[in-house]
Chains A and B, each alone.
Chain A
Amino acid sequence: MNTEALPGRTNRLSVWLFNPFTYIAGWQALLLGVILIIGTALLGSVGNVHFDGVLDMHMGVEAPLWLFIAEGSINWLSLTIILCIAGLIVRGTAFRIVDVFGTQALARWPMLPAAAAGILPANQRVTEELIKIVQNPNQPPVLALEPLDVIVFGLAMIIILVTIVWMLVLMYRGYAVSCNLKGAKAIVSFIICLLIAETTSKLGLYAIIKLFPLN
């Protein structure tokens, strides 16, 4: 069997990190991705870490577990459906829909460590203080925080930023592999899809909260 096209052991790790879809796609990726989306929602519900948009992550507001699961699902589905439509238009030939759904579900896995970073007690304390300031705009802003909390919060923000960029890379790779798109065509169509999906996911979440009010 031909093994010449396979990456060597040295860069195999980088392929697993930045383009795991070389090895995993379809139903396997879909199952694993859905489990990770639910896991992220569970972790998010512990520390009130919300993924309220395809690329959004915010902390602070307490909500029932179903909302965290709905956020993850809406984010995944809104981008996937739009990418499927774009794939059909740009590629012009058939591809497996399950590959797009599977790769996009798995592409959201960096949000799991992001949620873990968000639930750190130091982050919770900083978030609570920030919320107090926002909720009392008439009072002078005073942050009663330990320096260590601020450092941990800063490091967590860097980790979260890196994981969001990492997720973006995975989303693009998943789209490119599933629909066999390359170059400018792939990049431009992906950016357009991302912008549309960011809007539709926000609208979707707004509709869900309107339909099922939290209080």
Chain B
Amino acid sequence: MSRLPIQCPACREQLNVNKLTCGKCQTQVEGLYELPLLLRLEPDEQRFVLDFLKCSGSLKEMAALMKLSYPTVRNRLDDIIGKIKQLEQVMMPETKEQNS
């Protein structure tokens, strides 16, 4: 499956979901749905977050499983946290508009 685009290639604005399709019966649902924050992360970042949860949030366990050093894993986590904070700032005005 191709990579999920999260930014508009023309204006760099965040993309929303317009159409959803059932993989079995091909039923299509159209509307305007905001992409959840986690889906706006890169695929490897999403996997990191999931693995981190599976390790009960233990960086030591993550480091052992990924065969990387502790600071390397912690730095990656810090980078993802920074990206999530940035995305939250971008998404906040969108959420406010939809709620009102």
Residues of A within 8 A of B (CB): 1-6, 21-26, 29, 95-96, 99, 177-178, 180
Contacts and interface: CB of A to CB of B under 8 A. Distances in A.
Given A24-B69, A25-B69, A177-B69, A2 B75 contact: no
Contacts of B47: 2, 4
A29 B68 CA distance: 13
B71 A21 contact: yes
Nearest to B62: A1
A26 B69 contact: yes
A126 to B, nearest CB: 41
A5 B76 CA distance: 10
| Interface secondary structure of A, over-half rule | loop
19 contacts: A1-B65, A2-B48, A2-B66, A3-B66, A4-B44, A4-B47, A5-B48, A5-B66, A5-B76, A6-B68, A21-B71, A22-B68, A22-B69, A22-B72, A26-B69, A96-B71, A177-B71, A177-B75, A180-B71
Contacts of A1: 51, 65-66
B33 interface: no
B70 A25 contact: yes
Contacts of B48: 2, 5
Interface string B69-96: 1111011101000000000000000000
Contacts of A25: 69-72
Nearest to A177: B71
B72 to A, nearest CB: 5
Contacts of A24: 69
A25 to B, nearest CB: 4
Q: Is the interface of B mostly helix, strand, loop or mixed?
A: helix
B68 A177 contact: no
Interface in B32-77: 43-44, 47-48, 51, 65-72, 74-76
Nearest to B67: A23
Given A23-B68, A95-B71, 11 more contacts: A1-B65, A2-B47, A3-B66, A4-B47, A6-B68, A22-B69, A24-B69, A99-B70, A177-B75, A180-B74, A180-B75
A180 B75 CA distance: 6
B54 to A, nearest CB: 9
A177 B74 CA distance: 9
A6 B48 CA distance: 12
B49 to A, nearest CB: 9
4 interchain residue pairs of minimum CB distance: A25-B69, A2-B47, A4-B44, A180-B75
A208 B78 CA distance: 41
